[in-house]
Structure 1
Amino acid sequence: MNSSQENPNIDLAYQKAILGSVSRTFALTIPLLPPAIEVVVGNTYLLCRIVDTIEDAAELSPTEKQHLSKLFLDAVLGDIPVTAFVTPCLDALRGYSNVDELDLIAHTPTVLRILHTFQTRDQKAIGRCILIMSSGMSHFHHRQNQYGLKDLVEFEEYCYVVAGVVGELLTTIFGHYSPEFAKHIRGHEKLALAFGQALQMTNILKDSPEDRARGVSWQPAQMSQAELLQIAYEKLQDSLSYILLIPKKEIGMRRFCFLAFGLAVMTLEKIATRKEFSNKSELKLSRNTVWIFYGCTKLAASQDFLIKSFFYAASSRLRALWVASR
């Protein structure tokens, strides 16, 4: 038995450190959650990030991506030893440039050890999420091309398997932690999908220049940026409703969702001011903007009026596009 198995704190310290290396945004938002679910959500993010790393590896063929995704899923579900995934994955990605993501893959055993400390119901929900995400991405590996997805239906399906399912998982975890939230969300579960999909649509639009440069598009063919922004605005409206269903006393859960939501709103608003852009750096929110908004969430997250006011003030161009389409 190695030292990290003897001391779970070493595993948790790695999780916290690598989270800060692979995602500045989620390293900011996840610690806002109550401690009882912060570790669960952080661990889930890292598992999803491994799936994303395989997806983003331009040097891999669709068949190689499918194979590695299947190995990862089998390792998460306990059907194969974790080394049966890690060794071939690192070998296939030996030319991959992101050293932090490679380090995360090398530490897949650490991430899975943490997963196995969670309550059975949380482990089951996370397993379902990774199953849908991994299987769904494998389905789309052979569909990636420079022209985009077939239509809006396929685009919605893609957004579901890469992000909508994460919205479902968050809702399950939040509901396990807060019976009051579980009661509020009952009958409104589709809002959870919209929350995840809104964040994913932001990423797809923001990353489109880099995707085009590697001969890939995840946008629906024959749909303009303006049309996609109109759909994103509708998802944001549903996301707002989702946040407002979180009990006001659950300030950490509200801040977590409101911060991610707010950054997406401000990024999409910047996109709406441009007919085109050549690099996602043009859309990057300044460090000052992020930290000011971070501070504002502490006050605003418990006030429905302030959350609604922010959305109204920060999405004027998006709203104008949406109204024009009615």
Structure 2
Amino acid sequence: MTTWDGSGMSQEDFMVKDEVIALDEDDQIVGHVNKYLSHRFVPGTPRGILHRAFSVFLFDQDGKLLLQKRAASKITFPNVWTNTCCSHPLYGYERSEVDKPEDLKDGSVPGVKNAAVRKLAHELGIAAEDVPIDSFKFLTRLHYYAADAVTHGPNAPWGEHEIDYILFIQVDSSLSMTPHPDEVDAVKWVSLEEMDGMMNDNANLWSPWFRIIMERFAREWWLNLNDAINTDKYMDTVNIHRFDPPAKHRGGAGVTGLVEEGAKAATIDKSKKQGAYGKVPTIKAGKLAQLSHVDEVFAALWFKARGAFSNNLDQEDSDVAFCNDMLGKVSRSFAAVIRQLPKMLATDIVVFYLVLRGLDTVEDDMTAFDDIQVKIKLLTKFHETALVDRAWKLEGVGQGDERVLLERFSSVTAVFQSLSQGSQEVISDITKRMGAGMAEFVSKDLGQGTTSTVDYDEYCHYVAGLVGDGLTRLFVATGIEGQELLLAPELANSMGLFLQKTNIIRDYLEDYVDGRAFWPQDVWKKHAKTGQLGEFALPQFRDNALACLNELVTDALALVPDCLAYMRQIKDPEVFRFCAIPQVMAIATLAEIYNNPDVFRGVVKIRKGLACRMILESGNLEGIFSWFNKLAEGIAARVPALDPCASRTTEVCKIAVDMTTPTGKALGTSRTKLVLFSVPVLLSAAYLYRR
């Protein structure tokens, strides 16, 4: 163990020499890494590496706060005003700066405080005896990330991703200091009123962490400085407060470096969907490849020739008409198969869909909420506000038609309140449970995926398994299906998980670029060489990427028996189509992406002609069995002999083939006639199963 000595070292030297404490999102230590690697926002580490930090707020006896302006020579966030001192506890020094869990539990955090004393001396020339360890008060922790896009532009290769320990301290007004010119350009003692004036002056730049701390916490603490420093009134040793950065600090080279190809290959259409949609390529079959499948061309032409859809919604009611119009605009896939449902069910499902789409829009918007607590409150209270108050609306959230949906949500509320009491109870209950689940995950750092398969399954349950539960209950509540459908709720959950896992696997790059990935770490870390999820997007790691992809596809395929068992129970033909078509599209997507390297350069789509043909042939159980049989056999035939998951993949495919073989034969004449009779209502479902 040695003593830290920064004399004669440049900012570049510190980046290489200093080892910060690497963390998981729960502030548990997972190792140590130099500042250079931890602060690089590049492909492979789009948010750098999460590490521990501290922010010192130093006050004089008059209650004035000492601000510093970071030096122009600083590599990250130069020329910005911020709190007194911001830096990192380091690993490997004699006066330990590494805190144990018990140090946090009692609020003593001696490691962070040792680091604060060291950096106050280095940056500001404040003697250690003027800032004794016992004078610091630990208050709370915040987890944030921020790309330094203000300094380095949208392709910024630098940023901060920290769990920041906030420390307050009050010192004698005669404090002596000598700022280090390579660290600090200026210092200033300010009152709260003076600081507000500075922050309102657009000529001043501010660090993103300081803005978050001031807006969320420090103002109240400053106004009650004695209580903040000398009592435990504001100390919080339990919670980690999580924040998305201001809009100008999102992005960075870790994102833009991966989407340069996408910018050329995809049209970014802000009217369609927030997040990374349109920023990565959509990979689909070319015209020649499509024309080589004559049967699919025939199926597509059949759709085109059949004309208008049937619509069982009441178009005379203005609120229902709005819902019908919005359904067609925001679903991109489900509109036709919902509208063709029996009249006593169609309106209920439209409302259910639009309510959950509104909830999903709040969850997906990564730019509208500077304070994540606002988003969490909206999600957890959506069922109590949007479904109760006919005047409720939400402005400035989402993009395109989703934004319009939330701005004019009162029409959805009105139709919801006109439904039967049973349907209202189902929709409200699912909205409540889904909102709570979404809130749990928006507070997590998902830059590197979910932490485990358990978390992955739990997320899929919240956002899709609950949909299966709600749909089943609506089928029964409206009398379309019998009570026996409620006896095995795990089957409905599996239906939802099968769809959601397919989407998550296919959308690897899109989700990664958006900063919210869902591939589980206990799976992908088995295959990764660098320990970073983003490496799979790089060509040199392609073999490892495919092995991980194939394991996740295999995990999804294990749900097939439950999905088939659920569909065996459906009796109403329109409800059957409504349930069956997404499932067939899902297994077709899994067959398309299995062992397919294109997953790591864009979003892979199945051929539209193939989608049309599957819809034509999925009108009953025999039809979907035929497709599941064929597609599972196709995956099994392509399993690489050396794939680490080869035996398991072969096994789950065999189970699917065995389950579907008795009815997995060529279409008979009677079945074809049954399917073609109601096919016109399914045109838009040819594009079904887009996330």
Q: Identify the residue that residue 427 of structure 2 maps to in structure 1.
A: 126
| Cα 1:230/1:9, change in 2 over 3 Å | same
If asked which structure has higher relative contact order (CA below 8 Å, sep 6+), I would say 1
- CA contact 2:382–2:431 (8 Å) conserved in 1: no
For residue 589 of structure 2, what is the aligned residue in structure 1? 267
Question: 1:47–1:276: structure 2 CA closer, same or farther, 3 Å change rule?
Answer: same
Residue 311 (str. 1) matches residue 619 (str. 2): no
Give every structure 1 segment of 4 or more consecutive aligned residues whose post-TM-superposition deviation is greater than 4 Å: 317-323
Residues 272 and 317 of structure 1 are in contact (CA less than 8 Å); yes or no, is this contact kept in structure 2?
no
Mapped pair 1:44 → 2:352:
yes
User: Once the 2 structures are TM-superposed, how far is the Cα of residue 220 of structure 1 from its aligned partner?
Assistant: 1.0
- Determine the C-alpha separation between the residues in 2 that align with 1:179 and 1:35: 10
1:246 maps to 2:570 = yes
Local SS of the residue matching 2:335: helix
Matched to 1:174, the amino acid is F
Contact 1:267 1:284 in 2 (8 A): yes
Match of 1:90 in 2: 395
Structure 2 residues without counterparts, runs of 5 or longer: 1-314, 524-547, 640-644, 652-691
Aligned pairs for 1:139-150 (under 5 A) are 139-150=440-451
Name 1:200's counterpart in structure 2: 500
Work out the CA distance in 1 between the residues paired with 2:486 and 2:330: 34
Amino acid at match of 1:210: E
* Counterpart-to-counterpart distance in 2, 1:23 and 1:202: 18
Q: Which residue of 2 aligns with 1:66?
A: 376
Per the alignment, in what secondary structure is the counterpart of residue 477 of structure 2? helix
Query: So what's the TM-score if we normalise by structure 2?
Result: 0.42
Counterparts of 1:296 and 1:150 in 2: how far apart (Å)? 39
Q: 1:319 to 1:50 in 2, by over 3 A?
A: farther
Partner in structure 2 of residue 4 of structure 1: none
- In the TM superposition, 1:207-286 aligns within 5 A as 207-223=507-523, 224-247=548-571, 250-278=572-600, 280-281=602-603, 283-286=604-607
Structure 1 CA distance for aligned equivalents of residues 599 and 374 of structure 2: 32
Q: Quick one: which of 16, 20, 25 aligns to 2:333? A: 25
Seq. identity, %? 26
CA contact (8 A) 1:229 1:318 kept: no
Q: 1:187 to 1:279 in 2, by over 3 A?
A: same
1:82 deviation in Å?
A: 5.0
Q: CA deviation at 1:273?
A: 3.8
- In 2, are the aligned partners of 1:76 and 1:127 still within 8 Å (CA)? no
Deviation at 1:251, TM superposition (A): 0.5
Rg larger in structure: 2
- Which string of whole-angstrom CA distances, capped at 9 and with x for unpartnered residues, describes residues 105-133 of structure 1? 11211011111111101100111100001
Give the structure 2 partner of residue 290 of structure 1. 611
The letter of the residue matching 1:63 is: Q
Change in CA separation of 1:148 and 1:255 when aligned onto 2, cut-off 3 Å: same
1:34 to 333, 342, 352: 342
Question: 1: CA distance between counterparts of 2:616 and 2:518?
Answer: 34
Paired positions, count: 303
Distance 1:28 1:214, change over 3 A: same
Q: Give the residue type in structure 2 aligned to 1:65.
A: K
Tell me the amino acid that sits aligned with residue 568 of structure 2.
L
Deviations 1:165-221 (A, max 9, x none): 1101111111223475322x2532210000111111122122221111122211211
Deviation of 1:235 (Å): 1.6
CA positional deviation for 1:68? 2.4
* CA distance in structure 1 between the partners assigned to 2:457 and 2:473 by the alignment: 21
Return closer, same or farther for 1:144/1:44 CA change in 2, 3 Å cut-off.
farther
User: Once the 2 structures are TM-superposed, how far is the Cα of residue 279 of structure 1 from its aligned partner?
Assistant: 5.1
Offset, 1:28: 3.0
Distance 2:448 2:633 in 1: 30
Equivalent residue letter for 1:307: I
Letter in 1 for 2:488: H
For residues 33 and 73 of structure 1, the distance between their equivalents in structure 2, rounded to whole angstroms, comes to: 25
CA distance in 2, matches of 1:163, 1:210: 19
Q: TM-score w.r.t. structure 1 length?
A: 0.85
Tell which deviates more after alignment, 125-134 or 288-297: 288-297
1:214 to 1:180, Cα distance in 2 relative to 1, 3 A = closer
| Correspondence for 2:363 among 50, 55, 65 | 55
CA contact (8 A) 2:319 2:411 kept: yes
CA RMSD of aligned residues (A): 2.2
Q: For residues 312 and 195 of structure 1, what CA distance do their matches in structure 2 show?
A: 17
- Residues 33-79 of structure 1 show CA distances to partners (whole Å, capped at 9, x for unaligned) of 2121111111101111111111111213532321322342321452x
- Aligned to 1:24, what secondary structure does the other structure show? coil
Letter in structure 2 aligned against 1:255: R
**8 Å contact kept, 2:509–2:600:** yes
Q: Distance in 2 between matches of 1:150 and 1:225?
A: 17
TM-aligned CA deviation for residue 227 of structure 1? 2.0
Aligned-pair distance for 1:246? 0.7
Return the alpha-carbon distance in structure 1 between the equivalents of residues 343 and 401 of structure 2: 25
Q: How far apart, in 1, do the equivalents of 2:635 and 2:483 lie? A: 31
Moved more, 53-62 or 196-205: 53-62
2:515 and 2:556 mapped to 1: Cα distance? 24
* Alignment check: 8 A CA contact 1:198 1:232 kept: yes
1:265, distance to aligned residue in structure 2 (A): 1.3
Task: Quote the Cα distance in structure 2 between the aligned partners of 1:180 and 1:131.
Answer: 24
Letter in 2 for 1:287: K
